[in-house]
Amino acid sequence: MIEYLEQLVEEKKYREALDLAERLIKQVEDPHQVVRIYAARVVSHCRLGEFSEALPGGDFALHLARELGDWDSFGMLALYVGVAYSRLGQLNEAVTRMYDYLAGLGNYRKAAEFEYNAWYNLGTFQVMLNKPVDAAKALANALKAALRNGEHRYAHGVRQALVDAYLRAEMYESVPRLLVQCGHYLRKHPELPLYNMSLANHIQLRGEYALVTGRATRAKALASRALSKLRGEPYECLPHLVLAKVAQRNGVYQEALGHALAARTCALVGRRTDFEQMASDLLYELTRAYPGAIEMVDQYYTDS
């Protein structure tokens, strides 16, 4: 029955897996099987977005797997428990679980294939903790691991995250090469899932790099062209953010506020809390720097 439970998880029948796990956990005494049942529960809860339900049994099973030397279960549990902590806003705990996974790398068989996921998760968590230098190191390791595994589509996403970390850390040396590689991949793979989101990310990163290298005109051209392609999509907020920063750089504060507000509106409509946070941070920065900004925005919309 344990094998059937794991098969249900592989087939993405998560609710059925949870129902079966609930019955099995009351019948099984072998601790090795208990670990496997809890691992199936944790994965299923996470896949269903039920992160708070994943944690109690997940931490218990993680410690039990370590004691039993069931390293593949330990590795899988560390990954999913870490993701659950991150989705619940407990980023330090999430980082600890990623380090737990990475510490066990030499012991894994099947779980070793997820090394790039662990490094990528670690890097994104560290970005959220405002540790861009640490994030860049983790994401560079994620890129190496993804390429070793032949995960080229995943590597493309890692490159974008790595560029973002380098920009935040003001480490610019590798950025042009990575941007060229990202652009080449996008041109070769128009069938990419969420292509427009990846394109919007790419344009934003190119715009941000153009800004930090003193090419505001180039940043504005890139973002304006992307905006025309992404009208009506939640990713429209990303070129709006670049245009807001260009206007801020040029001292056109009401225009900067207008684009920042547009970015936040797009994020809210698209239910993208990550984009909403970026737009809100920029709005806060602008209104703090320019106390009369709100009145400027009213005038900007009136005049236009």
Answer yes or no: is 19 within a domain.
yes
> How many structural domains does the chain have?
1
Please count the other Cβ atoms lying within 10 Å of the Cβ belonging to residue 216: 18
CA distance 152 to 19: 36
CA distance 207 to 203: 6
Answer yes or no: is 206 within a domain.
no
What CATH number is attached to the domain comprising 80?
1.25.40.10
Answer yes or no: is 2 within a domain.
yes
Answer yes or no: is 8 within a domain.
yes
pTM over 0.85: yes
Q: Which pairs with CB-CB distance under 8 Å and at least 24 residues apart come from 275-278?
A: 275/234, 275/235, 275/237, 275/238, 278/237, 278/241
Tell me the pLDDT tens digit for each residue of 37-57.
999 999 999 999 999 999 988
Enclosing domain of residue 18: 1-108
Tell me the pLDDT tens digit for each residue of 122-143.
999 999 999 999 999 999 999 9
Answer yes or no: is 46 within a domain.
yes
pLDDT score at 94: 96
Residue 123 dihedral angles phi and psi, to the nearest 5°: -65, -45
pLDDT score at 253: 85
Q: Mean pLDDT, the chain, as a whole number?
A: 91
Answer yes or no: is 272 within a domain.
no
Q: The tokens of 294 are what? A: 């709100």
